[in-house]
Amino acid sequence: MTAGVDTALKLGLNQEEYEKICKVLGRIPNFTELSIYSVMWSEHCSYKNSIIYLKKLPRKGSRLLVEAGEENAGLVDIGGGLACAFKIESHNHPSAIEPYQGAATGVGGIHRDIFTMGARPIAALNSLRFGDLASAHTRKLMRGVVKGIGNYGNAFGVPTVGGEVYFDSCYQQNILVNAMSVGVVEVGKTVSARADGPGNPVFIVGSATGKDGIHGATFASADLTENSNEDLPAVQVGDPFQEKLLLEASLEAIASGQVVGMQDMGAAGITCSTSEMSAKSGTGMKIWLDKVPTRQANMQAWEILLSESQERMLIVAQKGGEQTLLKIFDKWDLECHLIGEVTDSGNLEYYMHDTLVAHVPAESLVLGGGAPVYQREFRTPDYMEKVNSFDAEKVSQPDNLVEISKKLFALPNIASKRWIYQQYDKMVRTGTMNAVNSSDAAVVRIKDTDKALAMTVDCNSAYVYMDPKQGGMIAVAEAARNVRCSGAVPVAITNCLNFGNPYNPEVYFQFVKALEGMGEACIKFDTPVTGGNVSFYNQTVSKSGNVPVYPTPTIGMLGVMDSVRHFTTSGFVQEGDLIFLIGVENAHIAYSEYLRYFHDIRYAPAPYLNLDEEHKLHLAITSLIQHQYLQSCHDVSEGGIFTCLTESAIQSDLGYEINIPAEFRKDIFLFGESQGRVCISIKEELKSQVENHLKDFGVPFIQLGVCKGKKMIIDHEDFGSVSEYGQLHDMGISQYLEKE
């Protein structure tokens, strides 16, 4: 039965796209075919509204073993014959509707992208955004998301080693859940997501196919509304124990030499894996859908094709190697079924009980092939007038800085995230180096080597909102700075680009400019983009109007530490160590937590950043660490220098005494969030070497004071004890969540 334009519109396609489908097929599509195009041409799968600008990001580098978009994840040479596969993706809408399963399956999905390449996952990270923590709805979502991440990751046996959490009312309905996975593999032992070799058999392995997640890709490519709870079937259901079996079986299958290609079944399920693998190889497939094991009886062809049931893989095997694979998956007690074969036709032919139910060219479905590409209108947002009208001269300096410092340190965006990360297993596999002694990035030792990987996720979305280009730069710069402060050298990034509706010209402006800033920063720091994810349509839609989330281009940064001896923590070490601020200090008054919460200023320019100065700072930090000059190293970010120093103090229960140079305004010096600054502590006897080192790199510095006692003393004024601030820090979030 053919399907007309009305059906296409209901499936999320527009009239122009429907007409294009008819032209590609040379006929009117049936419902199954139209459903296939609806998911593959959704924003989630095709990047139709973003690919033009994604291609402008720097995507080449000496360490990259595959270019961005070539495989399920980025692949970077880390030396010693090893490579790192890593990627970040979103699971925003499912998590907003069903927080536990939405977050859990986000974790499972990103891990599968890693081990389908042949890499063993060794670490997970996440970047989360929630609404107002005082809201019962926010707390419910947060509990569900954190439990979903923790339960899945802990059961799967991969440590959750780092992350970030922010709270803002713009995320009240549309939360953001971004999951990152990092894995290690020997160079040359990866497998590609390809369907090479006509005549080769095609297997589906893992869990049976159910009706969960149908049209999940379409769901992710539309606005959340007040009625989105009705889309619950679009949310997948995960099983971490099944995924663990699938991991081990997949790696064994790859090692057998009988795997030609392998791809996870994530968004769009069988449809996506068959089309992308075929298009990449210029081949086609015949698939018999009635041979796919299902959880529900009498599933329709389109339901089987579009299901996003979790813990499933598509494998193209070497002809003649069928029995080898069947034995491996049987050993791990996993389903493994022959469902098709590779052809040389370039077409996807889907059969149900020997009846051809869909027949489409593989190339016409995919990104970079026949999927539509759009360049949307964009314009400077109206609210930028408020940002540009900010007058720093009108910001008065308060007298109660001690009181402010205590309140600031307990703000949800600054406070300890202990309530969250205590629910994650950080030590499984025993490679996590920062589990006890904190560092600015998560650091995981690579077993049987002297190497370690540093990794972080970073994005202050408020900065991006105030100035999309500057904010995009800052996201990359902060991620690279965190990696450097931990003792590693940044090598590449993955990104998860979370924005509102791309049809909104102001949202599209944010997207375009944020990518410009990201690109410039990536070039400066030599951290090419390996791939990632675009998530549009993140906004609250209600009768009162549409409110996009803050533009949130989350950066997942990977760094390589050639020797674990370079691992550097952020906590003070010993009494008498000198404290320095390194980097340009200009006491720049710009957007900050301090301005927002204590001056009620919600619109102000993004913090100061100069890429050339930042780059010099990064090189200097690495050199100082490699010369073993530093006791501690901690970057200045949210909450400013005061927060930076006090976090270092509470980690070691060791206070400080500092003096602020007279030329700087005291509140802005303490609480301003200008970029390109780091606080270090050093042994007193190394003072001249460190100062000369910094001069050689052209990096300014200020000797602030000394590690001393159990209190924070600033300009001879007692700001309070280390233990008091430790309690404030710990209670900032937990006080809300322990009420119920």
Residue with tokens 């050993």: 331
Q: What is the pTM of this model?
A: 0.94
Mean pLDDT of 648-666: 96
C-alpha 24: how far from its chain's center? 35
The pLDDT of 125-153, averaged and rounded, is 95
Tens of pLDDT, residue by residue over 20-67, are 999 999 999 999 999 999 999 998 889 999 999 999 999 998 899 988
The Cα–Cα gap between 53 and 60 comes to: 16
Q: How confident is the model at residue 425 (pLDDT cuts 50, 70, 90)?
A: confident
Q: What is the pLDDT of residue 571?
A: 97
Phi, psi of 163 (to 5 degrees): 165, -170
> How far is the C-alpha of 607 from the C-alpha of 377, rounded, in Å?
28
pLDDT band at 228 (very low <50, low <70, confident <90, very high): very low
- Strands 711-714 and 717-721, how do they pair? antiparallel
Give the Å distances, CA to CA, from 221 to 153, 264, 329, 382, 607. Answer: 26, 20, 35, 25, 32
* 549 closest CA partner among 99, 44, 93: 93
Extended strands (E) in 475-599? 489-498, 529-535, 539-542, 545-548, 552-561, 578-583
Give the residue-averaged pLDDT of 628-636. Answer: 98
What gap in Å lies between CA 729 and CA 218, rounded to an integer?
41
pLDDT band at 222, cuts 50/70/90? Answer: low
Label residue 238 by pLDDT band (50, 70, 90). confident
566 carries an active-site annotation: no
pLDDT recorded at residue 389: 97
Q: Which two tokens stand for residue 412?
A: 């949800």
79 neighbors 73 (Cβ within 8 angstroms): no
**Scanning the structure block, which residue is given the tokens 């949130």?**
552
Give CA–CA dist 434/432, Å, rounded: 6
> Tokens 């032919």 sit at which residue?
349
What pLDDT does residue 232 have? 43
Question: What's the pLDDT score for residue 131?
Answer: 96
Which one of 91, 93, 693, 729 is the catalytic residue?
Answer: 91
Least trusted range by pLDDT, from 263-267, 297-301, 675-679: 263-267
Task: Compute the CA torsion angle 343, 344, 345, 350 (nearest 10 deg).
Answer: 10
Q: Which residues partner with 355 through β-bridges?
A: 352
CB neighbours of residue 455 within 10 Å = 28
Percentage of the chain modeled with pLDDT above 90: 85
Count CB atoms within 10 A of the CB of residue 330: 12
What pLDDT is stored for residue 224 in this prediction? 55
CA distance 342 to 347: 10
Which DSSP letter does residue 596 get? Answer: H
Q: Looking at residue 330, what is its pLDDT?
A: 96
Summarize the confidence of residues 514-529 as an average pLDDT. Answer: 98
Return the half-sphere exposure (C-beta side, CA atoms, 13 A cut-off) of residue 281: 26
pLDDT value at position 541?
A: 78
Greater model confidence, 509 or 369: 509
Mean pLDDT over residues 141-154, rounded? 94
Q: Provide the pLDDT for residue 216.
A: 47
| Pair 121, 183: CB distance under 8 Å | yes
Q: How confident is the model at residue 739 (pLDDT cuts 50, 70, 90)?
A: low
pLDDT in tens, 553-575: 999 999 999 999 999 999 999 99
CA separation for the pair 213, 210 (Å, rounded): 8
Instruction: Enter the tokens of residue 360.
Output: 């489409």
Range 238-244 average pLDDT: 87
Q: Which of 222, 315, 221 shows the shortest CA–CA distance to 265?
A: 315
Residues 474-514: pLDDT tens digits?
A: 999 999 999 999 999 999 999 999 999 999 999 999 999 99
Question: What distance in Å separates the CA atoms of residue 740 and residue 733, rounded to the nearest whole number?
Answer: 13
Residue 546 has pLDDT above 60, yes or no: yes
Q: Enter the tokens of residue 453.
A: 């990987």
- Stated as kind and residue range, the H or E segment containing 201 is strand 201-206
Give the pLDDT mean for 710-727.
Answer: 97
Mean pLDDT of the chain: 93
Other beta carbons within 10 angstroms of residue 480's beta carbon come to 31
* 634 noted as active-site residue: no
Mean pLDDT of 445-450: 93
